[in-house]
Amino acid sequence: MTNFNLSCPIPLEQYPQVLLAHGGGGKLMQQLLEKMFFPAFKTTHNIPPHDSAVLSLNTNKIAFTTDSYVIHPLFFPGGDIGSLAINGTVNDLAMSGARPLYLSVGFILEEGLPMETLWRVVQSLQKAAQIAEVQIITGDTKVVDHGKGDGIFINTAGVGIVEHNQVIAPQSVQPGDAILISGDLGRHGIAIMAVREGLEFETAIESDCAPLSTLVLEMLDAGVEIHCLRDLTRGGLASALNEIATGAGVTLKVQETAIPVAEDVQGACEILGFDPLYVANEGRLVAFIPQNSVSRALEILRSHHQQASIIGQVTGTGTGMGLVTLESRIGASRILDMLSGEQLPRIC
Amino acid sequence: MTNFNLSCPIPLEQYPQVLLAHGGGGKLMQQLLEKMFFPAFKTTHNIPPHDSAVLSLNTNKIAFTTDSYVIHPLFFPGGDIGSLAINGTVNDLAMSGARPLYLSVGFILEEGLPMETLWRVVQSLQKAAQIAEVQIITGDTKVVDHGKGDGIFINTAGVGIVEHNQVIAPQSVQPGDAILISGDLGRHGIAIMAVREGLEFETAIESDCAPLSTLVLEMLDAGVEIHCLRDLTRGGLASALNEIATGAGVTLKVQETAIPVAEDVQGACEILGFDPLYVANEGRLVAFIPQNSVSRALEILRSHHQQASIIGQVTGTGTGMGLVTLESRIGASRILDMLSGEQLPRIC
């Protein structure tokens, strides 16, 4: 393991802030790459820096994805833009049942960003990549004028290998499938909003930001049949269920009482006027599992998080248009629609 | 071929500008994806939208790269941020001798961006992808508050397949290698600066923005031995030569008179106080070719651009530290160093 919390490798008395020239392709950019990025993101491949990284995989079936991260604030309880940028993209790969292997990192920095802040984020990227067992293999740095960005934006793209023959996607969802979630909901969104609004709770609510790849690969290794996976990011559980119902053309029914939400998160949602079913998570997934695999899947999910639960099932093909209904605490049934407006901007 | 210049698929009277909710994971984002992005970026794979795209390649050796594009202005003679975002990443893949196949597109949009502008860029991305024979296979959209971005930033990451066994990289460069460039220099940087400074020339100088993959694949197919390739973007020819000289630990010698620069570009450089050797290009490469392959390589480069030229050669291993010397028009020799400051911010 690499040492963290090292002092910034760029001399801060000389360059306390990021300058436009740090993205200009000249000497200052070269210094940033050679002193900060290359040592931090050193890979076991030892690929010399070049325009693209050439990789030999042990299979020719890959998963490929990308996400940009514009979260505000950059640092929050339970994570920061660096760990989020690794875990978010790792999780998108994991949702295809892929083994995440390689990530790219593209920075868009705002002129005037404290160099120390960049260094903290770089260390966080490095640490999160180690934990998720992925390598940062290629990257890019741009700097925009002060007032034309917001500190740091990060894009990560990811490549993973697919070592199974299941089609893990909405079109595989079948009537009868159980709907499982991997833990309690709403931590990430509420952690961010609490910081933004300056709210204090008895105990700080921490983001659930974490890689989900181990959990998915364990299910696949155990022979669990998986029809569909989705991580519950922007738009939360409600949006994920609606997207899958629409993609699969099926009707889903979920029980509100079966959906775990921690008491402090529930309380914060009430104060802030949010519905936890729409709040973003960064370390939770929903899984569509045929009945013959449910008990094994739940056992594995619970070994990672005690509150993993079966929350409902696919009830039919309905009109083929996709519909999600929620059975509430008092037994009434209502349609759980997609979010129409904007609940939490810049949550990821 | 798809029709271009179609009218914007998002109703402009209702949504004349991009709103925060277009990146919020709810209904408005879904509308943007389904009406604009999915039809524009429709692939032959017909992969249903999911967290990541699963791809079966015909080899397990891949190239992987990324770049973010923050160019200002968004539209310029000879291109725009859309064509640039495709060609820039295609070219990075081509510099490993890879066949570019799949691209991701990550948008960071500023709240208030005219929807029509986004639509123009999306059409340009689509058109450039068709020309470069790559498919946009996965993507992401974020919207940041007004004043926290600058219209549109785009990240593209790319995956290509490597179908040859050459190691095309700085460490393959050898004393005796000829140094070739694929055309005249400085068009992209000068085209951008002319727009920014409001300069008018007799004929508009257009960016050289173009994909270089065909050219590279033709050389490989013809059995040309290639030691190293680099596209001449930020920092121009001078920076590329310095990076390769350092990476290879060799001494390079180039002749100023052999480097083609168009008269109007030269004139503009003199007005603006730039050295064309440091000005960015987006459709030019430098190639390091062993003597036995030079004539074949030059023939192929010239079939694409008449001004492709041999500009110098690798003279020795020197101190192992990397050194580039330029023989000037009057026969004097000077060190061609990397750019130290910032010549042209936000050129790509």
pLDDT grade, residue B44 (50/70/90)? low
Q: Which of A295, A326, A333 is nearest to A311 (CA)?
A: A326
Q: How far is B210 from chain A (nearest CA, A)?
A: 16
pLDDT band for position A45 (50/70/90)?
Answer: low
* Structure token pair of residue A232: 């519950």
pLDDT of residue B2: 47
- % residues pLDDT > 70 (chain A): 95
Superfamily of domain A170-335: PurM-like C-terminal domain (3.90.650.10)
Q: Using alpha carbons only, how large is chain B's radius of gyration in Å?
A: 21
Shortest CB distance from B52 goes to which of A64, A69, A105?
A: A64
The nearest CA of chain A is from the CA of B203 a distance in Å of 28
User: For the segment B147-191, what is each residue's pLDDT rounded down to a tens digit?
Assistant: 999 999 999 999 999 999 999 999 999 999 999 999 999 999 999
**pLDDT for A341:** 65
pLDDT band at A203 (very low <50, low <70, confident <90, very high): confident
Chain B CB contacts of A55 under 8 Å are: 61-64
CATH architecture of A20-161: 2-Layer Sandwich (3.30)
Range from A62-71, A317-326, B75-84, B247-256 carrying the lowest mean pLDDT? A317-326
| A162: closest chain B residue by CA | B54
Q: What is the ipTM of this complex?
A: 0.94
**pLDDT, averaged across chain B:** 93
Residue A48 has pLDDT above 60, yes or no: no
Q: What pLDDT was estimated at residue A49?
A: 61
Q: Domain map of chain A by residue range?
A: 20-161, 170-335
Q: The dihedral of CA B194, B195, B199, B201: what is its sign?
A: positive
Q: Is the pLDDT of residue B277 over 60?
A: yes
Least confident of B14-18, B206-210, B250-254, B330-334: B330-334
Whether A203 and A264 have beta carbons less than 8 Å apart is answered as yes
The whole-number pLDDT of residue B24 equals: 86
pLDDT at A200: 78
- Average pLDDT, stretch B63-80? 97
pLDDT at A250: 95
Q: Tokens in use for B156?
A: 């593209």
> Is the minimum CB–CB distance between B335 and chain A shorter than 8 Å?
no
Place of tokens 């580039």: B324
- Compute the average pLDDT of residues A178-206: 91
Residue B46's pLDDT band, with cuts at 50, 70 and 90, is low
Q: Check if A64 contacts B (Cβ < 8 Å).
A: yes
Question: Average pLDDT for residues A120-139, to the nearest whole number?
Answer: 97
- Out of A212-226, A310-324, B60-74, B301-315, which region has the weakest mean confidence (pLDDT)? A310-324
**Residue A2 pLDDT exceeds 50:** no
On the question of pLDDT at B92 being above 60, the answer is: yes
- Which of A118-132, A141-155, A173-187, B50-64 comes out lowest in average pLDDT? B50-64
The pLDDT-based confidence of B1 (bands split at 50, 70, 90) is very low
B240 Cβ contact partners less than 8 Å away, ≥ 6 residues apart: B230, B231, B232, B286
How large is the greatest C-alpha to C-alpha distance in chain A, in angstroms? 66
A272 at interface of B, judged by CB pairs closer than 8 A: no
In tens, the pLDDT along B288-321 reads 999 999 999 999 999 999 999 999 999 988 667 8
Taking the C-alpha atoms of residue A271 and residue A201, their distance in angstroms, rounded to an integer, is 11
Residue A192 reports pLDDT greater than 80: yes
Mutate to test the interface with A, among B66, B213, B229, B336 (most CBs of A within 10 A): B66
The residue among B91 and B198 whose pLDDT is bigger is B91
Q: Which of B184, B164, B79 is nearest to B121 (CA)?
A: B79
